């Protein structure tokens, strides 16, 4: 593992961090208390050189984060999603999480740095720092006045998923459903289409993970940028509503885009359950399919650390070396392992951020 590093397409650590009392945050982040999937010392020990750090706002009646595990034990499942979250309700939480990332940067003494371009990412990694990209999972905090997007851009926002799962004023996400296609609901709203155009103008990446199929097609038709899904898997291998069909993967490949493999057990397993006994074989099945559909240069990692039930064979960020070993034992050559673990994200960001 010492020859490999990891750049990650998605984590939800900011949600955990912002909910931690101020007096405990330094110990949580710098010393590492081990209660979450990530902290700075474990990231450094595991060769985690950077990633997208997501701002995600839960619904008001679910402040502890959605936990559908019990419901997802009974097949089939199709869970109702909360209603639209208003900007006034989303903004304070989103701002607190963004502020948390900059606080983490300060507390790290430079060991983590917030990056605003591919060149900054490359420079940070070359200097041995953890490169962090500010991402928004669900655009509720932007609101209907898209001029506010530029404020977030100036704060460092460089990637946005217009939806998480609940609907927004921009479009519709897919529900937690199994088995199900991602063809659920209508396409982007007119405001959602304007959001895509404004993101293109500013240079903010559009994340297609969790967006429904019609919304996906709208982004593909409107955006001039490569299509990306920061943390999604193959629908052919696991028919979850949140996974990507072969048609969608073909469109991503044609655009020169990229897909980050999601470690969430529900999106890896054949039965769609959040069962941490999931083995590396399920991860390899998805990687094999993604490589076949996208090519070796378009497949990466998008862990969903601190946002999903992940396989116990990984456990937390310290399990990344075991994932690397599993790829090698599966028969991937060193060049391919290097591309999947960090090289493809780094090259993509060099070209597109």
pLDDT for 3: 82
The CA-CA-CA angle for residues 184, 188, 194, to 5°, reads 165
Q: Report pLDDT digits (tens) over 209-229.
A: 999 999 999 999 999 999 999
What pLDDT is recorded for position 171?
A: 98
pLDDT at 30 over 70: yes
Give the integer Cα–Cα distance in Å for 54 and 136: 5
pLDDT of residue 33: 81
pLDDT value at position 64? 45
- pLDDT tens, position by position, 58-105: 988 654 444 566 777 788 999 888 899 999 999 999 999 999 999 999
Indicate left, alpha or beta for 143 from its phi (over 0: left) and psi (-120 to 50: alpha). left
The pLDDT score that the predictor gives to residue 226 is 98
What is the pLDDT at residue 67?
A: 54
Q: Is the pLDDT of residue 9 over 50?
A: yes
| Residue 192 confidence (pLDDT) | 98
Q: What percent of the chain has pLDDT over 90?
A: 92
- 102-150 pLDDT, tens digit per residue, is 999 999 999 999 999 999 999 999 999 999 999 999 999 999 999 999 9
176-217 pLDDT, tens digit each: 999 999 999 999 999 999 999 999 999 999 999 999 999 999
Q: pLDDT tens for residues 313-335?
A: 999 999 999 999 999 999 999 99
Average pLDDT over residues 326-350: 98
pTM over 0.75? The answer is yes
Supply 227's token pair: 């299509």
Residue 1 has pLDDT above 50, yes or no: no
| Contact between residue 173 and residue 210 where contact means Cβ atoms under 8 Å apart | yes
Q: How confident is the model at residue 270 (pLDDT cuts 50, 70, 90)?
A: very high
Output the CA–CA distances (angstroms, integers) from residue 115 to 15, 26, 125, 159, 211, in the order listed: 19, 21, 10, 12, 25
Distance CA 156, CA 211 (A): 23
- What distance in Å separates the CA atoms of residue 316 and residue 91, rounded to the nearest whole number? 29
**Percentage of the chain lying above the pLDDT 70 cut:** 97
> At how many degrees (to 10) do helices 246-255 and 280-294 cross?
60
């Amino acid at each position: 593992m010492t020859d490999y590093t990891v750049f990650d397409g998605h984590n939800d650590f900011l949600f955990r961090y912002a909910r931690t009392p101020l007096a405990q945050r330094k110990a949580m982040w710098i010393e590492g208390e081990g209660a979450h999937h990530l902290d700075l010392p474990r990231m450094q020990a595991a060769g985690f050189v950077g990633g997208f750090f997501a701002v995600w706002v839960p619904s008001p009646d679910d402040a502890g984060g959605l936990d559908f595990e019990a419901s997802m034990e009974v097949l089939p499942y199709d869970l109702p999603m909360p209603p639209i979250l208003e900007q006034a309700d989303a903004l304070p939480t989103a701002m607190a999480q963004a502020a948390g990332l900059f606080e983490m940067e300060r507390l790290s003494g430079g060991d983590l740095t917030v990056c605003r371009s591919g060149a900054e990412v490359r420079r940070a990694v070359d200097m041995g720092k953890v490169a962090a990209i500010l991402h928004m999972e669900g655009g509720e905090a932007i609101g209907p006045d898209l001029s506010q997007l530029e404020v977030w851009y100036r704060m460092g926002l460089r990637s946005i998923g217009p939806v998480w799962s609940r609907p927004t004023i921009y479009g519709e996400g897919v529900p937690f459903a199994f088995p199900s296609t991602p063809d659920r609901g209508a396409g982007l709203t007119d405001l959602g289409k304007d959001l895509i155009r404004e993101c293109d103008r500013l240079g903010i990446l559009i994340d297609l993970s969790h967006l429904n199929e019609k919304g996906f097609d709208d982004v593909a038709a409107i955006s001039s940028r490569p299509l990306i899904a920061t943390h999604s898997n193959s629908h052919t291998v696991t028919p979850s509503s949140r996974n990507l069909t072969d048609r969608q993967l073909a469109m991503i490949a044609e655009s020169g885009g990229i897909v980050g493999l999601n470690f969430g057990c529900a999106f890896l397993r054949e039965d769609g359950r959040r069962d941490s006994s999931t083995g590396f074989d399920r991860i390899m099945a998805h990687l094999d399919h993604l490589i076949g559909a996208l090519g070796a240069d378009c497949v990466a990692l998008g862990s969903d650390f601190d946002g999903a039930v992940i396989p116990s064979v990984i456990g937390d960020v310290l399990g990344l070396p075991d994932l690397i070993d599993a790829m090698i034992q599966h028969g991937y050559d060193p060049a391919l392992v290097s591309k999947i673990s960090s090289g493809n994200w780094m090259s993509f960001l060099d070209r597109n951020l």
